[in-house]
Every structure is written in C-alpha cells, then in structure tokens.
Amino acid sequence: MNSMQAIFFWGALVALGLIALFLIIYVVGLQKSGHTKGTGGSLKSIEQILLGMMVLVVTLLTGVIAARWIETGHGPFSSMFEFSIAFAWGIVILGILYWFRYRIMLVSGASSVIALALLVYASQLSSQAAELVPALQQSFLLSTHVAAAAISYGAFAIGFIAAILILWQRRKTISWLPSPETLDRISYHTVIIGFPLLTLVIILGAIWAEQSWGRYWSWDPKESAALVTWLFYAGYLHTRILKGWQGTRSAVLLVIAFTAVIFTFFGNYIFQGLHAYS
C-alpha cells in the first residue's frame, strides 16, 4: 500500500471510529428525547455530522480503491485486504442511500460499525499488492463480480441491523426505536436490492470458474457457502411473499442469513479451496 492509499485507508478508519463515537452520543440523545429521530437542534446536528462523516468515508474508500486500481491494474478482488475495503465501501454507501430514503440514522449509522470492524480486520492483513494468479486474470468479469458482491453484502448488512432492531423492539417496546413496521419495510427493501445482485454474483462466478478451471461449479467451500446464503435469502422472500411472514420470524431469518454472509466472507479461512487467495 503506497503512501496515498495509506492516507485514504487510515483516514477512513479514523472517520468510522468517529462515527461509532458520535453514534453512541446520538443514541443517548434519542433515549433522553424519547423520539425515533433527531427532533432537537443538537440531535439534528449530530445526524448531519454522522451523514457528513459517512460521505467522507465513502470518498476516502473510493480513493483507496481507485489508487490501488491504478497501481495494480485491476479491481479489488485479489486479496481479503482488498475485498474487505470493497465490502466496507458497499455498507457505507448503502447506509447513505437508506438514510435519504428513510431518514433513520440509527440504522445507517449502526451499519457503519460493521464497516469499521471490516477495516480494523483489513488493517491486520498484508496490504502488499501481489501478482495475480492465473485464475484472477479476468479483470472486467471479476471487477463486476466483486462490485455486485460489495453492494449486495452492503444491503444485507443494513437489513441485518434493521432485523436486530426489530427483535429488540419486539422484545420490549422502546419509544426511541423506529417502529417494527418501518424496520420490517427497510429489511425487506434491502433483500429486494441485495438478492438479485447476489444472484448475479453467483452467475458471474460460475462463468469465471468455467473460463479459469473448465467447469461452472466445483462445490468449492466458498461457492457452496454463497449458495447456502442465496437459499436463505430466497427462503426469506418465499416466506414473506407467499406465506405472509413479517416481523419477528422474518427478522430471525435475516439474522441467520447475514450470519451465512459472514461465513461466506471468511469461509476460505475455515476450509481450503479454490478461493484460498480471497
């Protein structure tokens, strides 16, 4: 990682840390006010600070990705360091979009804490740009594959936060949390965005596998984990649309599904396979 990338990366990490700090202050303010959104001047100001910091994080992470792309000649798909940054980018940019759609900073801000965890994890990995292995020399295809995965996973992270808040709200009615109905709409909307993109990820991965290894599917651990994740989200849509599931049952299914996302992300550390480099 050259000096410019390092400045962008550590700047984003610090900004996410500040988001976590301001989020704690914001939550305390919500508890005192008893409202679901910032209605007082100070809470509104904190919302604007959080939003501004999230925009800054997206800008800095875009800078990391762009600078690294220029240096290496390919997108962020050659290592866990690169994809951790892409995953964090997807979470924060989706958080911004969902704030503009629903104006609920608690969901958008809390999702940024997941992005913070990803960058802390990335900071412990080697950032050295290595020469691409033959299987990764499909730059456009893999860049599209990873971009779809980053946005898909980002949407699922927002849905996970909404699902956690649904379960918290159902257990004990809390005046300053958004209503379960609003959170349920948010979580459903995230799957409507994330599920088609995850489908695209799997299709593009299969095409890439055929070009690289001569077969569309090899039951590699990461492939299999991605399929299981897809089935969980397909199950969520099936039970919601055809069975009418909403609220607690759907929220539990989304928490399980996002656990599968994390398992897919780290799966290559648990099992050896064709994705050992990512």
**pLDDT tens digit sequence for 13-66:** 999 999 999 999 999 988 887 666 655 678 889 999 999 999 999 999 999 999
Does pLDDT of 229 surpass 90? yes
For the segment 55-100, what is each residue's pLDDT rounded down to a tens digit? 999 999 999 999 888 887 777 767 889 889 999 999 999 999 999 9
Per the structure block, which two tokens stand in for 23? 């989020």
Nearest-5° angle of CA 119, CA 124, CA 126? 105
Query: How far apart are the C-alpha atoms of 257 and 14, rounded to whole Å?
Result: 29
Provide the pLDDT for residue 126.
82
For the chain, what is the mean pLDDT? 87
Token pair 């979470």 is found at: 91
Provide the pLDDT for residue 277.
47
Query: How far apart are the C-alpha atoms of 216 and 202, rounded to whole Å?
Result: 10
Among candidate residues 222, 233, 160, 241, the one with its CA nearest the CA of residue 199: 233
Give me the mean pLDDT over the 212-217 stretch: 76
